[in-house]
Amino acid sequence: MSQADRLYRNYFLEYASYVVRDRAIPDLVDGFKPVQRRIMHTLFEMDDGRFMKVANVVGAAMKYHPHGDSSIYEALVNLANAELFIEKQGNFGNFLTGDGAAASRYIECRLKPFAKKVLYNPEITEYVDSYDGRNREPVVFPAKIPVVVVQGTMGIAVGMSTTILPHNIFEVLEAEKKALRGEDFSVFPDFPGGGIMDVSEYNDGMGKIAVRARLNAEDPKKLVIEELPYGVTSDSLIASIEKANATGRLKIASISDYTAEKAQIEICWQRNVYSQDMIDVLYAATDCEKKISVNPLVIVDGLPKAVPITEMIRFHAHHLVEVLEAELRNDRKHLLERLRARTLERIFIEERIYKRIETEKTAEDVKRTIIEGFVPFMAEVSDEPLSDDDIDRLLKIPIRRISLFDIEKNKAEISEIKGNIKDIDYKLGHIIEYAESCLTELEGMLDREAFARRTEISSFQTLNVRQVAVRNMDIRYDQETGYLGTNVKAGESLLKVSPFDKVFYMKSNGEYRVVPVQDKVFIGTEGLFYINYGDKEIISKEIFTVIYRDRIRDKNVYQIKRFHISSFTTDKVYSVVSGEKAKVKKMSLWPSAIISMKFKAGYGYKIMEDTVRFADFPVYKSPAAAGQKLTGKELQSLSIRQTKDASTTAEAEPSLLDGIDDRK
Please give the positions annotated as active site: 106
Signed CA dihedral, 358, 362, 366, 369: sign only: negative
148 within 8 A of 173, measured Cβ to Cβ: no
158 within 8 A of 20, measured Cβ to Cβ: yes
Report the DSSP beta bridge partners of residue 109.
52, 88
SS (H, E, C) 278-314: HHHHHHHHCCCEEEEECECEEEECCEEEECCHHHHHH
Helix (H) or strand (E) holding 162: strand 161-164
Question: Where does 206-253 have alpha helices with state H?
Answer: 234-246
Strands (E), 454-554: 456-458, 473-478, 483-485, 493-497, 502-507, 511-516, 521-522, 528-533, 544-552
d(CA 172, CA 166): 10
319 within 8 A of 506, measured Cβ to Cβ: no
d(CA 637, CA 655): 19
d(CA 460, CA 458): 7
- Phi, psi at 391, each rounded to 5°: -65, -45
Per-position b or e across 359-381, b if 16+ CB within 10 A of its CB: eeeeeeebbebbeebbeebeeeb
As a whole number of Å, the CA-based R_g of the chain is 43
d(CA 526, CA 65): 75
Q: How many CB atoms lie within 10 A of CB 60?
A: 18
172 within 8 A of 145, measured Cβ to Cβ: yes
- What's the distance, Cα to Cα, between the start and end of the chain in Å? 78
510 within 8 A of 538, measured Cβ to Cβ: no
DSSP string, 76-101: HHHHHHHTSSEEEES---BTTTTBPP
CA–CA distance from 544 to each of 538, 622, 643 (Å)? 13, 10, 16
Nearest partner of 33 among 63, 4, 72, 86, judged by Cα: 72
d(CA 534, CA 515): 8
Nearest partner of 163 among 173, 171, 155, judged by Cα: 155
DSSP string, 135-193: SEEESS---SS-HHHHH-EEEE-SS-EEEE--B-HHHHHHHHHHHHHT------B--TT
